[in-house]
C-alpha cells in the first residue's frame, strides 16, 4: 500500500538526476556558479568601497581570490593593492611565490610585519612560539594607516565552525571586532558594505567554496601555486600528531626523531605550527582525489593553533583576526 | 589521531569527476523549537560523509562532557560559544555537502530567535526550503508562519519533512493526517509546490536512503529528492537583465596594448539569456544599441545566461554607468519613482511613514521616502491589519517614493528584478528586505487548526 497524496504524485519530478551535458541546458556547474558569485561580490565591493585591499599570503585560497579578481576586472588591472601580514615564520617558498605573483600581475604589495612589532616591543612572542594570533594588531594597524575601508579575504565557511556563521560582507567596528550576535542580514544577491567612519568591512567572496572546490578550480583554471602544496621530500618530525618541517622556527626536541618523508602541505601559514601531511599527490588532479577522500578537515590535519579550544577561531575573530 | 594514519585515496575518481560536473542547489532549513532541525542537518552531513573524523571526535567529546550518551549531531552546526553554552542556535549557519550529482549550500536557520529575520534571509537565496514538522504535533503556528514567509519570498520548492516518524510507530495514518494538514495550509498560503516526506532524523529513515520501516511510503528519500529538484527557473523563459556593476575602461593601464580602447560593462546576468548581436536598451536612459561581444575574463562567449558574471561590449558608445541596467530591448521594464512593496522589517528601530532611507536595487542605491504604511501582516492569524509602524520582524505593505527612476520589476516575475534592500543612511545598516508588487493575504478569518487534535478530520 502506498500513500495516496495527490499533491506529491503530481508535483514529484522524475527521480533520475541528470548531470549537466545537454548543450541547451543552461545550468551552471557548481564551480561556475561559485565563480559567478565570487566575481559578483568582488565587483560590487570595488564599486561600493572607496579603498579596498585584498589579503594575499601566497596560500592557495588567496591565490584563487587573486585569480577571480583578475577575471572580474579583465582586461583592466586589479584596481586595489594586496596586503600581506607577514608572521616572520613563513615558508621561504611561499614568500618567493608571493613576490613572483605580485610581479607577474603588476600588483602593489603592502606588507605588515609581525617581526617589526616584536622587535620594537609592541608585541611579545608567545610562550608556545606560534605567531598566528599575533597577526591581528599589525593587520588592524595596516587597515587604519592605509585607511582601507574594506579588506577581501579568502576565508571559507567550511574551514571552521565560527566562520560558518559569518556573512560574505562582514562588518567590523572601530576596534576591528566581529560581533557574531549582531550581524547584518544578507539577502538575495544584494550586498551592503556601508558603514560608519572608523568601521570597515571584511569581504569573503569564496565563503561558499569547500577545500575540494578550491582544488578543482585550481586544476580547471591551471593556476600556478607554491611548490610545497605538491608532494616533495622533506625532513620532518612528529609533534601533536602532525609532521612539522625541520627549520629555524620549528626545531625538534631531543625526544622527537627526524626523518625524510614524502609530504605536502594542505595549508600554509606559520611554519612553527603548520603541519605537513604524508602524500604522494604531485598534480592538481591527484590532490582533488586525495582531498575528496580525506577523513580530516584541513585545519584539523595541519593547524596546531586551531586545536587550542572549541572557540579558538571565534575568539580570534572577535578581536579582529581575519 | 596521528599523522601516520593519512591513508592513500580510496574515493572513486569517477564520483569525484561527477561532482565537478554537477549543479549547485541552495537549500534553507526552517522549523520550530525542538523539531529536530539541527539533528536533520547533522544527519544529512553525516550520511553524505561530509562530517570528517576530527569534527565528529570534537562533537563526541563535547557530548560526553555534557553527560550525553550519544553524539549530539546538533553540535555540528552550533558553532558559536554562546550557542554551545546556551544549547541554542543563534544565527544562520552555512554548511556544505555533496553527492555524485550535486553540491549543496545549506543555510541552517534557527527557529526561535528572530525567526522572521533568519527565515527571510535563508529563503531569499534558497532554491528549496526544507521545513520540519514534528509528526506528533502536526502543523503549529510557527509552521504556518514559515510557510507564509517561503510563499512571500517565492522559494521555488518547499519540502516538508514530517520528522520523528519513529515516535509515532511509523504510522501511515498519522503521516497522512499531518501531510494533508500541511498541504491544506500550503495551498491556503499560496505555496505552489510542497512535497512531504516521512523521516526520522535521529535514526536516518528516509533521509539518505528509503526506509524499510515506512513500506507504505512510495516516494523518494529526502536526499534523492534534493538531488532531483530542478535548481531554478530556466533562463530561456526569462527576459534578459544585467545591472551594471562597473564600467571597465583600462586605457593606459591595459595589461595588453590591444585593450587600450576596451570599454565593457561588467555585471551578473540577473535573468534571461543574452547573445552577441541582440538588441538591448540601457535603463533608465532608454538608449538602444546591440551587443558586440561578451567576455568572461579573457574568454569570449557567444551567449551568457543567469547567473553568469560577464562583461558586455556594445556597438555604440552610449552613456552607461554603474547602477544602470542593460535589458532586452523587446520587453524592458519601465523605470519608476513610485513603488508599492512588501517589506520585512529587520531594523531595531521601527519603520514609520515619512521616514527617509536608502534603497538598493541591483547595483543602484537611491534615496527613498516612505509615503505610507498600508498595513501589516498579523503573524498569528496571517491576515493584514492597519498599522502605524513596523517593528523588528514585522512584515508590512508600503508605498515608496524614489529620488530617481529605477527599473524595478514585479517580484512575482523576477526574484532578482523585484527585490531590494532598505538601508539606514546614518549607520549603513540593512533595515528591510523588500519585494516590489508583492501582496499580503487579506482574508480576515484564515482558519487556524487545533494543534495535534484528534478531532481533526481529513
Bridge partners, B378 (sequence order): B383
pLDDT digits (tens, 9 = 90+) for A175-190: 889 988 778 899 999 9
The pLDDT value recorded for residue B178 is 95
> What pLDDT is stored for residue A307 in this prediction?
53
Burial class (CB in 10 A: 0-12, 13-18, 19+), B188: middle
Q: Is residue A14 part of a domain?
A: no
CATH topology of domain B336-436: Elongation Factor Tu (Ef-tu); domain 3 (2.40.30)
Say if the Cβ atoms of A311 and B81 lie within 8 Å.
yes
Residues of B in Cβ contact (< 8 Å) with A16: 228
Instruction: Look at A43 and B267 and tell me if their CB atoms are within 8 Å.
Output: yes
Give pLDDT, residue B18: 45
**CA distance linking residue A88 with residue A55, whole number of Å:** 16
A-B contacts at Cβ under 8 angstroms: 294
Whether A223 shows a pLDDT value over 80: the answer reads: yes
How does pLDDT run across A132-149, given as a tens digit for each residue? 888 888 899 999 999 999
| Structural domain for A252, as ranges | 226-305
Residue B435 pLDDT: 97
How many Cα neighbours within 13 Å face the side chain of A71?
A: 25
CB distance B383 to B442 below 8 Å = yes
Report the CATH superfamily, name and number, of domain B236-328.
Translation factors (2.40.30.10)
The residues pairing with B305 across neighbouring beta strands, listed in sequence order, are: B273
Residue A244 lies in a domain: yes
The CATH number of the domain where A152 resides is what? 3.40.50.620
Q: What is the DSSP letter of B253?
A: G
CB contact under 8 A, B363 and A314: no
Task: Tell me: do A161 and A108 sit in the same domain.
Answer: yes
A200 touches chain B (CB under 8 A): no
The total number of residues shown for chain A amounts to 322
DSSP string, A23-35: TT----BHHHHHH
- CA angle, B45 then B51 then B55, to 5°: 135
Question: What is residue B132's predicted lDDT score, i.e. its pLDDT?
Answer: 92
10-residue stretch averages of pLDDT, chain B, 458 residues long:
37 46 87 79 84 76 76 67 62 84 87 74 92 93 87 93 95 96 90 91 92 96 92 83 96 83 96 97 96 96 96 95 96 95 94 93 97 89 88 93 96 94 95 92 49 37
Q: Are residues A155 and A301 in the same domain?
A: no
CA dihedral B412, B227, A189, B370 (to 10 degrees): 40
Contact: A185, B219; criterion CB under 8 Å: no
Q: Label residues B41-59 b or e (16+ Cβ within 10 Å = b).
A: bbbbbbbbebbbebbbebb
Length of chain B: 458
Residues A231 and A156 both lie in one domain: no
Nearest-Cα residue of chain B relative to residue A31: B20
CB within 8 Å: B175 and A241? no
Kindly compute the dihedral angle of the four CA atoms of residues B238, B242, B243, B246, in this order, to the nearest 10 degrees. 170
Chain B window 204-243: which residues touch A at a Cβ cutoff of 8 Å?
Answer: 215-220, 224-225, 227-232, 234-236
Q: Is B336-436 in the same CATH topology as B14-228?
A: no
How would DSSP label each residue in A134-203?
GGHHHHHHHHHHTT-SEEE----GGG-TTGGG--SEEEE-TT----TTSPPP-BTTB------TT-EEEE
Residue contact A164–B101, C-beta within 8 A? no
CB contacts of A170 in chain B (<8 Å) are none
Quote helix, strand, coil % in chain A, to nearest 5. Answer: 35, 15, 45
Domain-embedded: residue A218: no
pLDDT in tens, A255-305: 999 999 999 998 888 888 888 999 999 999 999 988 888 777 777 766 655
Nearest to A310 among B10, B84, B175 (CB): B84
The Cα–Cα gap between B208 and B222 comes to 6
Mutate to test the interface with A, among B2, B5, B6, B123 (most CBs of A within 10 A): B6
Q: Are residues A151 and A246 in the same domain?
A: no
Q: What pLDDT score does B320 carry?
A: 96
The whole-angstrom separation of Cα B91 and Cα B102 is 26
Task: Tell me the domain boundaries of chain B.
Answer: 14-228, 236-328, 336-436
**Residue-wise DSSP of B112-140:** SSSHHHHHHHHHHT-SEEEEEEETTT-S-
**CATH (residue range B14-228):** 3.40.50.300
Q: State the ipTM, two decimals.
A: 0.89
B6 touches chain A (CB under 8 A): yes
pLDDT value at residue B197: 97
Taking a contact as any Cβ pair under 8 Å apart, which residues of chain A between 207 and 266 contact chain B?
A: 207-208, 210, 212-213, 216, 220, 238, 241-243
Cβ–Cβ of B58/A310 closer than 8 Å?
yes
Residue B206 pLDDT: 96
Note whether A247 and A202 are same-domain residues: no
Alpha carbon B43 to its chain centroid, in Å, reads 21
A159 and A263 share a domain? no
User: Are A144 and A194 contained in the same domain?
Assistant: yes
Same domain for A189 and A294, yes or no, is no
CB contact under 8 A, B228 and A14: yes
Q: Name which of B53, B227, B245 is nearest A295 (Cβ-Cβ).
A: B53
Is B20 in contact with A243 (Cβ distance < 8 A)?
A: no
A45 interaction partners in chain B (CB closer than 8 Å): none
Q: Show the CA angle centred on residue B378, arms to residues B377 and B380, nearest 5°.
A: 140
Residue A24 lies in a domain: no
Q: What average pLDDT does chain A have?
A: 85
A221 in a structural domain? no
Same domain? A195 vs A106: yes
The verdict on residue A81 lying in a domain is yes
Domain count, chain A: 2
> Do A191 and A283 lie in a common domain?
no
Residue A250 distance to chain B (closest CA, Å): 17
Higher pLDDT, A23 or B53: B53
Higher pLDDT, B19 or A19: B19
Rounded CA separation B343/B436 (Å): 9
Contacts of A297 in chain B (CB under 8 A): 52, 54-55
Across the interface, whether the CB atoms of B9 and A184 are under 8 A apart is answered no
Closest CA to B84 of B103, B54, B62, B109: B62
The residue of chain B with its CA nearest to that of A27 is B23
Do A184 and A286 lie in a common domain? Answer: no
| Three-class SS state of A44 | helix
Pair B284, A8: CB distance under 8 Å: no
Q: Do B183 and A7 touch (CB under 8 A)?
A: yes
A86 and A36 inside one domain:
yes
- In angstroms, rounded to a whole number, what is the distance separating the alpha carbons of residues A42 and A36? 10
Give the pLDDT confidence score for residue A247 in this predicted structure.
84
Contacts of A181 in chain B (CB under 8 A): 80, 82, 90-91
The dihedral of CA B214, B219, B224, B229: what is its sign? negative
Residues A231/A282, Cβ–Cβ less than 8 Å: yes
CA distance A30 to chain B (A): 4
Q: Which chain A residue lies closest to B153 (C-alpha atoms)?
A: A188
Q: Is residue A205 part of a domain?
A: yes
The one-character DSSP state at A14 is: P
Q: Is residue A2 part of a domain?
A: no
Quote the pLDDT of residue A309.
55
Amino acid at each position: 500500500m502506498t500513500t495516496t497524496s495527490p499533491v506529491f504524485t503530481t508535483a514529484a519530478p522524475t527521480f533520475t538526476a541528470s548531470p549537466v551535458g545537454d548543450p541547451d541546458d543552461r545550468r551552471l556547474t557548481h564551480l561556475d556558479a561559485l565563480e559567478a558569485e565570487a566575481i559578483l561580490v568582488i565587483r560590487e565591493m570595488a564599486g561600493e568601497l572607496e579603498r579596498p585591499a585584498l589579503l594575499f599570503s601566497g596560500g592557495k585560497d588567496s591565490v584563487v581570490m587573486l585569480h577571480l579578481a583578475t577575471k572580474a576586472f579583465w582586461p583592466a588591472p586589479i584596481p586595489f593593492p594586496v596586503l600581506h601580514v607577514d608572521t616572520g615564520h613563513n615558508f621561504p617558498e611561499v614568500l618567493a611565490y608571493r613576490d613572483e605573483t605580485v610581479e607577474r600581475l603588476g600588483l602593489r604589495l603592502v606588507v605588515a610585519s609581525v617581526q617589526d612589532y616584536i622587535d620594537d616591543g609592541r608585541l611579545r612572542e608567545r610562550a608556545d612560539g606560534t605567531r598566528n594570533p599575533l597577526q591581528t594588531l599589525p593587520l588592524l594597524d595596516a587597515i587604519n594607516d592605509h585607511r582601507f575601508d574594506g579588506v577581501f579575504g579568502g576565508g571559507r565557511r567550511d574551514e571552521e565552525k565560527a566562520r560558518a556563521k559569518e556573512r560574505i560582507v562582514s562588518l567590523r567596528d572601530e576596534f576591528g571586532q566581529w560581533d557574531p550576535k549582531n550581524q547584518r542580514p544578507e539577502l538575495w544577491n544584494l550586498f551592503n558594505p556601508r558603514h560608519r567612519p572608523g568601521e570597515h568591512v571584511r569581504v569573503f567572496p569564496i565563503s561558499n567554496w569547500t577545500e575540494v572546490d578550491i582544488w578543482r578550480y585550481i586544476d580547471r583554471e591551471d593556476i600556478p601555486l607554491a611548490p610545497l602544496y605538491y608532494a616533495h621530500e622533506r625532513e620532518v618530525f612528529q609533534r601533536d600528531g602532525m609532521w612539522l618541517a625541520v627549520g629555524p622556527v620549528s626545531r625538534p626536541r631531543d625526544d622527537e626523531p627526524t626523518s625524510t618523508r614524502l609530504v605536502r602541505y594542505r595549508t600554509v601559514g606559520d611554519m612553527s605550527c603548520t603541519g605537513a601531511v604524508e602524500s604522494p599527490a604531485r598534480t592538481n588532479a591527484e590532490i582533488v582525489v586525495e582531498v575528496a577522500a580525506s577523513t580530516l578537515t584541513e585545519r584539523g590535519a595541519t593547524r596546531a593553533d586551531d586545536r587550542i579550544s572549541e572557540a579558538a577561531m571565534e575568539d580570534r575573530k572577535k578581536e579582529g583576526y581575519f | 589521531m596521528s599523522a601516520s594514519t593519512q591513508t592513500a585515496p580510496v574515493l572513486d575518481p569517477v564520483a569525484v569527476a561527477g561532482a565537478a560536473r554537477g549543479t549547485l542547489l541552495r537549500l534553507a532549513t526552517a522549523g520550530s523549537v525542538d523539531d529536530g532541525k539541527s539533528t536533520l542537518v547533522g544527519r544529512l552531513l553525516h550520511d553524505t560523509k561530509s562530517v570528517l573524523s576530527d569534527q565528529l571526535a570534537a562533537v563526541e567529546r563535547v557530548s560526553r562532557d555534557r553527560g550525553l550518551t550519544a553524539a549530539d549531531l546538533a553540535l555540528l552546526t552550533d558553532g558559536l560559544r554562546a550557542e554551545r553554552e546556551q544549547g541554542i542556535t543563534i544565527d544562520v549557519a552555512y554548511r556544505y555537502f555533496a553527492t555524485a550529482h550535486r553540491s549543496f549550500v545549506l543555510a541552517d536557520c534557527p527557529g526561535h530567535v528572530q525567526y522572521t529575520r533568519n527565515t527571510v534571509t535563508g529563503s531569499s537565496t534558497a532554491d528549496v526550503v526544507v521545513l520540519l514538522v514534528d509528526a506528533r504535533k502536526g502543523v503549529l503556528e510557527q509552521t504556518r508562519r514559515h510557510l507564509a514567509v517561503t510563499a512571500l519570498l517565492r522559494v521555488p520548492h518547499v519540502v516538508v519533512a514530517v520528522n520523528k516518524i519513529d515516535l509515532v510507530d511509523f504510522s501511515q495514518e498519522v503521516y497522512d493526517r499531518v501531510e494533508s494538514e500541511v498541504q491544506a495550509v500550503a495551498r491556503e498560503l499560496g505555496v505552489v509546490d510542497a512535497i512531504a516526506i516521512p523521516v526520522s532524523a535521529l535514526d536516518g529513515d528516509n533521509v539518505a536512503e528509503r526506509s524499510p520501516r515506512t513500506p507504505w511510503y512510495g516516494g523518494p528519500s529526502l536526499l534523492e529528492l534534493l538531488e532531483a529538484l530542478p535548481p531554478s527557473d530556466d533562463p530561456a523563459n526569462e527576459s534578459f537583465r544585467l545591472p551594471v556593476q562597473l564600467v571597465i575602461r583600462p586605457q593606459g593601464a591595459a595589461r595588453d596594448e590591444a585593450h587600450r580602447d576596451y570599454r565593457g560593462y561588467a555585471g551578473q546576468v540577473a535573468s534571461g539569456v543574452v547573445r552577441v548581436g541582440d538588441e538591448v536598451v540601457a535603463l533608465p536612459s532608454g538608449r538602444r544599441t546591440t551587443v558586440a561581444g561578451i567576455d568572461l575574463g579573457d574568454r569570449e562567449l557567444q551567449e551568457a545566461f543567469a547567473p553568469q558574471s560577464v562583461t558586455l561590449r556594445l556597438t555604440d558608445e552610449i552613456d552607461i554607468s554603474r547602477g544602470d541596467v542593460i535589458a532586452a530591448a523587446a520587453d524592458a521594464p519601465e523605470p519608476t519613482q513610485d513603488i508599492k512593496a512588501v517589506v520585512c522589517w529587520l531594523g531595531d528601530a521601527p519603520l514609520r511613514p515619512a521616514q527617509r532611507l536608502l534603497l538598493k536595487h541591483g547595483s543602484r542605491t537611491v534615496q527613498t521616502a516612505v509615503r505610507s504604511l498600508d498595513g501589516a501582516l498579523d503573524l498569528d492569524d496571517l491576515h493584514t491589519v492597519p498599522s502605524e509602524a513596523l517593528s523588528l520582524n514585522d512584515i508590512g505593505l508600503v508605498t515608496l517614493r524614489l529620488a530617481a527612476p529605477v527599473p524595478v520589476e514585479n517580484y512575482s516575475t523576477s526574484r532578482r528584478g523585484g527585490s531590494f534592500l532598505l538601508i539606514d543612511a546614518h549607520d549603513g545598516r540593512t533595515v528591510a528586505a523588500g519585494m516590489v508588487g508583492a501582496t499580503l493575504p487579506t482574508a480576515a478569518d484564515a482558519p487556524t487548526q487545533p494543534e495535534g487534535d484528534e478531532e481533526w478530520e481529513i
